[in-house]
Amino acid sequence: MKKLIIALVAIAVLLVVFLVIGPFFVLYEGQQAVVVRLGQIVATHTEAGLKFKSPFLDNVVVYTKKILPWDGEPQRIPTKENQFIFVDMTARWRIADPVKFYESVSTLNDAYGRLDDVIDSAVRTIISQNFLREAVRNSNVIMESTNVETFETGDAADSDSLRQLTQTESSFELISKGREKLSNEMLVEVARLVPEYGIEVIDVVPRQIKYSEELTESVYSRMIKERNQIAQAFRSLGEGKKAGWLGKLENEQRTILSAAYEKAETLKGAADAQASAIYARSYGRDPGFYSFWRALESYKQTMPSFSKTMSTELDYFQFLYGPSGR
């Protein structure tokens, strides 16, 4: 009886161990698996459910069926006209064939390493074969733009003149492909190489495209040049208006000064005539006193400027002495 109990216990233990590491495993929704026996794939499962395997011999490798993201590092790539840009790409992919995937890369980390090489190479190839405009633009809508920068000054003539001075010619070349078609070409190139790894790449799209420092500096220089041209147009218009206003002020000043001079000369002439009449009447009353007064007025004007007087025995100085000559 004791031996029977021991045998039953042993059988129960073996049964539990068998069930724990036994022939069954669960494959959940969104998963796929390959069953490997002694290094060889003996079964593939892509549907969810309870699956069978050989205990102790089979190893189950489970992969996801979900769509996975791939994010690359920004690359500095020259375009066809040798303009450098930074291209940052992203992609979506999934494991399409778990058998090839296991045989070629085995793990997701190794798969990401292969995708890095394949996608980066395809991106560099496509970008370097096309012009810059193809990579940064997706359509020719910009060619249809009619937006013109206008400046209003409140005067129609000035506004028209300013519009002519600030008018800039912006020319854009047509694109034949555009960014979306380049992405499709990258996808075709990648899709040609990845099936051997059991991988399907769904799409390859640019996440960001940036100009290099040299190209950015060139764009900024062109923008600064256009702004300086507009500023110079404003300065030219202002200088023209200033010259017109100054000319008008000078004309008005000359007119006012001319009128004032004419009026001053008229008043001066009248004053001189009145003074001459007064002098004439004074001379008629007392010629001697008149001559004496005129001499004193002359002395007052001329004597301060004499630095040295050599002799006063002149008729001009007759009123400086008395009748005795002193």
Residues 85-138 have pLDDT tens digits of 999 999 999 999 999 999 999 999 999 999 999 999 999 999 999 998 898 888
* 27 vs 19: CA distance, rounded Å: 16
Question: Is 188 in a helix, a strand, or coil?
Answer: helix
- Residue 208: in which H helix or E strand, if any? strand 199-211
State the average pLDDT over residues 300-319. 63
CB neighbour burial string for 298-317, b if at least 16 within 10 angstroms, e if fewer:
eeeeeeeeeeeeeeeeeeee
Instruction: Please report which confidence band the pLDDT of residue 246 belongs to, taking 50, 70 and 90 as the band edges.
Output: confident
Tokens of 273: 């005539």
Confidence at residue 324, expressed as pLDDT on a 0 to 100 scale:
46
Instruction: Please report which confidence band the pLDDT of residue 40 belongs to, taking 50, 70 and 90 as the band edges.
Output: confident
| Residue 170 DSSP code | -
State the average pLDDT over residues 304-321. 61
Nearest to 94 by CA among 124, 114, 69: 69
Tell me the helix, strand and coil percentages in the chain, rounded to 5: 55, 20, 25
| Residue 131 DSSP code | -
Distances (CA, A) of 188 to 56, 195, 200: 43, 12, 11
- pLDDT tens-digit readout, 42-93: 889 988 888 878 777 888 999 999 999 999 999 999 999 998 999 999 999 9
Q: Are 200 and 63 in contact (CB under 8 A)?
A: no
Count of Cβ atoms closer than 10 Å to residue 112 Cβ: 14
* 44 vs 7: CA distance, rounded Å: 38
CB neighbour burial string for 41-67, b if at least 16 within 10 angstroms, e if fewer:
eebebeeeeebebeeeebeeeebeeee
What is the C-alpha R_g of the chain? 54
| Residue 208, strand partner residues | 88
Q: Could you tell me where the beta strands, DSSP code E, fall in 2-121?
A: 24-27, 31-37, 40-45, 49-52, 58-64, 68-71, 75-78, 84-95
pLDDT value at 254 more than 70: yes
* 230 vs 247: CA distance, rounded Å: 26
Nearest to 318 by CA among 283, 287, 300, 292: 292
